[in-house]
Structure 1
């Protein structure tokens, strides 16, 4: 049915246009805190008691009162709005302050002013932020049990994030610390002597068993009269590798023509039951 062929179409639409849903009023905050004030408005248009199909030109104006009142923002004209089975949808933007208070929407269809104005409240307003102000969310804003282990990134919590005295033995995984506290702590030493100027040597101390856990390592130079050794490098190997024998290596060079002695040391935890 062509709109122009019905002289009474404008009057009929004026009586029957109804707001069926305010689809969304969304404020999206971007990184620069500028707001997108566009709303998506959906309504229904009937002509002659039937759902209208076609296209129409529409003008939307926002007011602060049901009648008379003051305009809010600038009119929004949308030409060639498609209407399918009576339903239409348009995007409207009346500015940043448009939805502070109760508002009424005045609609003109193909030059015909429809009445009454449609009441639009601030209730559908919602906001979504990509970020929040630092320290804006505290323990009072979080529901008990609302944060689970899966919500926390690996290695994201350090000692400075934990209040002193808040973690006890009951809060730890006993299957881990029981396994590492049995047995005894022992030290292994590999001692070497470098006799000549410019010579270098490597010493490597290792745990006794693959299952034993390395605790610490050290390179120790024993000063003697006239001796001078320089530490060139040190390296732990197989620390944290359950299949390798943990060791600690030290490399020294002799800076004097006098013999010097040094040691590589490793402290290990015997995990034998």
Structure 2
């Protein structure tokens, strides 16, 4: 058994990959998410809530220097974030934030943005327990398009190929930065939707083995999953998706294999991203930001 105060549970995944439902399952298992008034509240995109600790996002934005115009698509972002762990002020704020979560038992953080900040946090939280969600990237891309596009836009535009680049970048970061961790579970979103009981038991067994809990509220964990909320199911196998590159298809196949074999070695050179892709992702974000600002004028 390991000390839950020193081994936080970290729910990782690309946005719209099932991190919210997995976070609720972890909460119902018995892990603390933070006071309800400090959690991102439910909305149309996440009717049961996001389970994201808002002070964590505030610190991430500060670490990322977002107020200066920096973004996590900057080519040097990973290097800059890693260096922040050596900054006494940043380190102190991170440790103090973790201390807020210590309630004499297991606790967790879930925020897809953490995927961009792992070079910093791995130096702070040490030997964490990672639960990583895997979902058909096409469904992620379509869901993310609906999430980011202004609801009243009259322009018919598709960001699917761009969102697949986004997925590939973030999934690569997750796989790279969890390659050396001891405690990791890969969790298939479709598997959760198709077989709630088996996946709740699988998650509980994993957490129990790490944190020494013997009795788990399996039915409560099962009830966290509402299959009717699986709203973006394109029904297309990813290997048949025209917008996807060969590298993206291979990366998704590898991520699916990690569900059964979490310690299969990851070789990033097998899944290269195209030259200049970060520029495209930065442009997409800037365009959407400008569009929203025009909307509110």
Question: Scaled by the length of structure 1, what TM-score is found?
Answer: 0.16
Between the two structures, name the one with larger relative contact order (CA 8 Å, sep ≥ 6).
2
Task: Give the greater-gyration-radius structure (CA).
Answer: 1
Q: Which has the higher helix share?
A: 2
Structure with more of its chain in strand, by fraction? 1
